[in-house]
Structure 1
Amino acid sequence: MNAYKHAEISVKRRGGVVEDYLPIHDFIDSTKELCSDNRHRILHTLWGIRRVIVPIFGQTITNSNGKIINVKDLCEQDHILPDYLNRFIPTLADFVNAINRHADDEHRLREFAGSYENDPELSELLLSPLANTGSLTSLLLTHNSWFINDIVPKVLKRKPLIQNFGISPADFFDRMNFQLWMDNGASIPPSAQKTAGKVVG
């Protein structure tokens, strides 16, 4: 489903016009630039909403009818759940567990982390996938050229870094195995196995 269709869902549910919601839905799907199939949906998680979407767009927006709209609810109910047949919201760990580990991951990530160890604000954001999943490999999602130069400037209001990066988004997407649950809810991810069969919404 494209961003415009998601915005139409928001209009039907919350009033206003498509343009009120399109920037948020378009941004949630901006990872299609990094990966052309449904593995791209790393922002389709509560981690993505809490750590990326809400810090950029705010807790609420006001639509053209003057109604205050909760951004977290908008992302969950009008975008993520419809993409998965209203069956589940995947966790960041669901995506991370599909990534093949490499022996040099720890060395490369520790080296990257050394560049911001004295910056608590940046450190909290970049290390949040590890806190969320417990997997060192999860740091590939934030320790790369896309996150540093596209996401960090928007979330923390900082300038992009003009330099070569040793890690790119391809480092995790090329190693992420496609799972059937990623295909618009064709199956259930590990995190939702205990609630399988129940409709969310």
Structure 2
Amino acid sequence: MNAVKHAELSVHRRGGHRDDYYPLHDFMDSTKELCSDNRHRILHTLWGIKRVIIPIFGHTLTNADGKRINVKDLCEQDHVLPDYRNRFIPTLADFAEAVEANPDDAHRLQTFFNAYQHDEPLRDLLLSPLSQTGRLKSLWFTHNSWFLNEIVPRVLNRPPRFQEFSLSPADFFRRMRFEPWMDNGHGVPPSAQQTLSLLHPSS
């Protein structure tokens, strides 16, 4: 489902005009620039909604009808769930599990992080995937040129950095497996397997 379709779904459910919602849905899908298949959906998680989308768009938006819309609900109900056939919302750990670990990860990530470790707001944002997943390789999602120059300037209201970067999204997407659940919900991610098996024992 593309951003226009998501926005039209939001209009159907919440009123207003398509343009009220399109910028948010388009931004959620902006990671397609990083990876052209459905592995790109790293913002389609509660981590992405809480740490990226809400800081940029706010907790609520007001549509053309003057109605205040909860952004978290909008992201979950009109974007993430429809992309997975309304079956589940994957976690960041689900995406991290699909990334093949490499022995030099710790060194490369630590070297990248050293330049920002004394900047507390930036440090907390960059390390947030680790606190959620407990997996060092999840830091690939924030320790890269895209996150520092596309996400951080909008979340923390800072200018982008005009410099060479040692890590890019290509570094982890090359090592990320395409799992069946990523294919629009044709499969179940690890985080949802137990819940869905209890709700639908025969599936």
Query: The TM-score by the shorter chain falls in which range?
Result: over 0.9
1:36 aligned onto 2:36: yes
1:125 aligns with 2:136: no
Instruction: Report how far residue 117 of structure 1 moved.
Output: 1.3
Q: Unpaired segments of 5 or more residues in structure 2? A: none
| Stretch deviating more after TM superposition (115-124 or 42-51) | 115-124
Match of 2:48? 48
Query: Deviation at 1:195?
Result: 1.4
Partner residue, 1:23: 23
> What corresponds to 2:181 in structure 1?
181
2:145 corresponds to 1:145: yes
SS at match of 1:110: helix
Q: CA deviation at 1:85?
A: 0.6
Compute the displacement of 1:121 (Å). 0.4
The Cα shift of 1:170 comes to 0.3
What's the % identity of the aligned pairs?
Answer: 67
Residue 190 of structure 1 aligns with an amino acid whose one-letter code is P
Q: Return the offset for 1:182.
A: 0.2
Q: How does 1:50-89 map to 2 (within 5 A)?
A: 50-89=50-89
Instruction: Show the counterpart of 1:92.
Output: 92
TM-score, L = length of structure 2:
0.96
1:113-137 CA distance string (max 9 Å, x none):
1111111100000000000100111
Question: Secondary structure of the residue that 1:106 maps to in structure 2?
Answer: helix
Equivalent-residue separation in structure 2 for 1:103 and 1:166 (angstroms): 17
Counterpart of 1:101, as a letter, is: A
Work out the CA distance in 1 between the residues paired with 2:69 and 2:50.
16
Which is further off, 44-53 or 102-111? 102-111
For residues 32-90 of structure 1, the C-alpha deviation after alignment (integer angstroms, 9 at most, x for no partner) is: 00000000000000000000000000000000000000000000000000000100000
Please state whether the residue corresponding to 1:103 is helix, strand or coil.
coil
Deviation at 1:102, TM superposition (A): 1.0
Structure 2 CA distance, aligned partners of 1:123 and 1:158?
A: 14
Report what 1:116 is aligned to: 116
Q: Which residue of 1 aligns with 2:3?
A: 3
Alpha-carbon distance between aligned partners in 2 of 1:52 and 1:153, rounded to the nearest angstrom: 11
Deviations, residues 95-126 of structure 1 (Å, cap 9, x unaligned):
00000111111001111111111111000000
Whole-Å separation in 1 of the counterparts to 2:74 and 2:158? 26
Cα root mean square deviation, aligned: 0.9
Gapped runs of 5+ residues in structure 1? none
Give the deviation of 1:173 after TM superposition: 0.8
Alignment-mate amino acid for residue 143 of structure 1: H
One-letter identity of the residue aligned with 1:36: S
For 1:32 and 1:16, locate their aligned partners in 2 and report how far apart those are by CA, in whole Å.
27
TM superposition score normalised by structure 1 = 0.97
Q: Give me the whole-angstrom Cα distance separating, in 2, the residues matched to 1:177 and 1:44.
A: 17
In 2, the alpha carbon distance for the partners of 1:176 and 1:107 equals 19
CA distance in 1, matches of 2:154, 2:166: 22
